[in-house]
A and B are shown apart, each in its own frame.
Chain A
């Protein structure tokens, strides 16, 4: 505190604040997103998951040697299309659950929220940062996978590209779910709930089939039938985004399907984000 007294604290020329309007609002969201990206990008957790994914893809190269000659590319494709969404889902769950809670636990929020920023802008900024990070992670994994695929005689077809694109919408949805639970409860429970949504969401169509069957526990036990109906109604159907198998069997993922699935994913993402904002705005930061 060495500057002359007349300059202490107050600038010679007062700064101009831009608070109101959509521009400053987006600016605040972008500021939080950039900081989230920086924070998550420096997390060991992120690099651990990324490293494991790269090893997994390298392993597919070794594994493909054991396959029949005409099945090598198919094996690498199959392996990649299973590993990439899985790794993404793990990242989305962990980062979505941890990052918001960390802000509260480490009390970094106490210096941020008293600024002219709405809690909704903060949640949206956090989500945007994670969404960009997951996109970058997905791109990095595809870049690692692509040469392996080419080495084994395969190619990154437009259908595969669209299938990977749908993974991204699923990851954003999982991130929103994780943030929703993170705004509600502690990280371990948030993680468990998010994994629950992931598992139920992926098997949503199975539950729907069981509900429509002639017999079985979902038909014969009223409580299970009610539970099944509730799960099908309130848990997003994540199998919409899991198109790896049909693609491997030659399905082209038409653009109209892609658009409908993307719209479905974004709608659920927005819904969970609205829920996260609703909960977070009512939360006392003690």
Chain B
């Protein structure tokens, strides 16, 4: 999915060696925001866009939508340059912390957006009704946005991104500003949109959301894509670990020494016993030790390599010198 092949149908979204350098201050000092990002998203797939603050996520999304002109490389939507308005006709964009005209009501916002897509009046009216229901704003449909909470504005943002029934959704931090119930509802909506065959490209700081909703991820760090691919490929299947919780009435010196002697085991004392994390291959040795020492095995579970660990491995491990 992430490495485009020349023979495949044009990806719905594609970045090729994207670079963006801003010039700031009186002396127009160069500040690179995106150094080298290449990725592609095929129809019907979902891609999570990850990275710490300032890693270049929003800038590269803006390049994709024609808000920012790239310094180098290419940004394409449905095989067309991102600057082509026709390419954007099939895209629904939700900006990070969306801002709308606060004197408009949600109905007026959706109607305005519908006009920009060239929708007929009847279609606009129908879509407005449908989408206000989808995002749960029926009751507030005729209230000016200036009185809306951040979560309600986020819902308006989601609704306006769906007005033209786009094939590709580019959502920048769609779950920010929402309460737990709102987050669940938006997650459900994203699952449903995926089920309907929409392509989804979204950024988030919440790794759990990306892990739950995406086929693939692209991790950005200081403007460089440091990891990308399907989660099943990136999360190391060979690096499975297991975790055991042992009940020990008295933590004997001998038992602790025996546990610590297990291959690559990490032994942590807890108020009620001991927690041991070790490679799954060493579980048999752990069981033998438990039997020999007469310990109480309360819990034994497999620990999968998580997106958080992958993120830390890729983004944090680059260290500060990578920025130079």
Residues of chain A from 1 to 51 with CB closer than 8 A to chain B in the complex = 1-3, 5, 7-11, 13-20, 24, 27-28, 30-31, 35, 38-39, 42
Contact A14 B165 (CB under 8 A): yes
Contact B100 A111 (CB under 8 A): yes
Among candidates B59, B112, B188, residue contacting A31 with C-beta atoms closer than 8 Å: B112
Q: Does B22 contact A (CB under 8 A)?
A: yes
B142 to chain A, nearest CB (A): 15
A33 to chain B, nearest CB (A): 11
- How many A-B contacts if CB must be within 8 Å? 147
Q: Does B136 contact A (CB under 8 A)?
A: yes
A10 to chain B, nearest CB (A): 5
Contact B133 A3 (CB under 8 A): yes
Query: In the bound complex, what is the Cα–Cα distance between A86 and B73 (angstroms)?
Result: 50
Contact A16 B130 (CB under 8 A): no
Contact A31 B115 (CB under 8 A): yes
Q: Does A229 contact B (CB under 8 A)?
A: no
Query: In the bound complex, what is the Cα–Cα distance between A111 and B120 (angstroms)?
Result: 20
Query: In the bound complex, what is the Cα–Cα distance between A15 and B192 (angstroms)?
Result: 19
Asked whether A115 and B117 contact (CB < 8 A) given A9-B162, A286-B22, the answer is yes
13 contacts between A and B (CB under 8 A): A2-B136, A9-B134, A9-B193, A11-B165, A30-B115, A31-B116, A110-B99, A112-B116, A115-B113, A116-B116, A117-B85, A118-B85, A286-B68
Other 4 A-B pairs with CB < 8 A, given A113-B67, A115-B113, A116-B85: A3-B133, A8-B188, A30-B115, A116-B118
Contact B162 A42 (CB under 8 A): no
Asked whether A111 and B98 contact (CB < 8 A) given A31-B112, A286-B62, the answer is yes
Asked whether A15 and B115 contact (CB < 8 A) given A1-B189, A3-B134, A286-B68, the answer is no
Contact B95 A17 (CB under 8 A): no
Q: Does A282 contact B (CB under 8 A)?
A: yes
Among candidates A2, A7, A38, A106, residue contacting B99 with C-beta atoms closer than 8 Å: A106
Q: Which residues of B contact A9 (CB under 8 A)?
A: 131, 134, 162, 165, 189, 192-193, 196, 198
Q: Which residues of B contact A118 (CB under 8 A)?
A: 85
Residues of chain B from 188 to 233 with CB closer than 8 A to chain A in the complex = 188-189, 192-193, 196, 198
Query: In the bound complex, what is the Cα–Cα distance between A2 and B181 (angstroms)?
Result: 12
Residues of chain A from 118 to 158 with CB closer than 8 A to chain B in the complex = 118
Q: Does B160 contact A (CB under 8 A)?
A: yes
Q: Which residues of B contact A109 (CB under 8 A)?
A: 67
Size range of the chain A interface in the assembly: 35 or more
Contact A16 B22 (CB under 8 A): no
Q: Does B304 contact A (CB under 8 A)?
A: no
User: Which among B69, B104, B127, B134 has the highest number of chain A CB atoms within 10 Å?
Assistant: B134
B145 to chain A, nearest CB (A): 11
Asked whether A11 and B127 contact (CB < 8 A) given A20-B86, A116-B88, the answer is yes
Q: Which residues of A contact B (CB under 8 A)?
A: 1-3, 5, 7-11, 13-20, 24, 27-28, 30-31, 35, 38-39, 42, 106-118, 282, 284-286
Query: In the bound complex, what is the Cα–Cα distance between A120 and B69 (angstroms)?
Result: 16
B127 to chain A, nearest CB (A): 6
Q: Which residues of B contact A8 (CB under 8 A)?
A: 134, 188-189, 192-193, 196
Asked whether A10 and B193 contact (CB < 8 A) given A108-B100, A111-B95, A112-B116, the answer is yes
Q: Which residues of A contact B163 (CB under 8 A)?
A: 15
Closest residue on chain A to residue B126 by CB atoms? A11
Q: Which residues of B contact A24 (CB under 8 A)?
A: 118
Q: Which residues of B contact A38 (CB under 8 A)?
A: 103-104
Closest residue on chain A to residue B138 by CB atoms? A2
Query: In the bound complex, what is the Cα–Cα distance between A18 and B123 (angstroms)?
Result: 12
Closest residue on chain A to residue B163 by CB atoms? A15
Q: Which residues of B contact A111 (CB under 8 A)?
A: 93, 95, 98-100, 113, 157, 160
Closest residue on chain A to residue B116 by CB atoms? A115
Query: In the bound complex, what is the Cα–Cα distance between A2 and B266 (angstroms)?
Result: 47
Closest residue on chain B to residue A285 by CB atoms? B67
B192 to chain A, nearest CB (A): 4
B136 to chain A, nearest CB (A): 5
Q: Which residues of B contact A28 (CB under 8 A)?
A: 115-116, 118
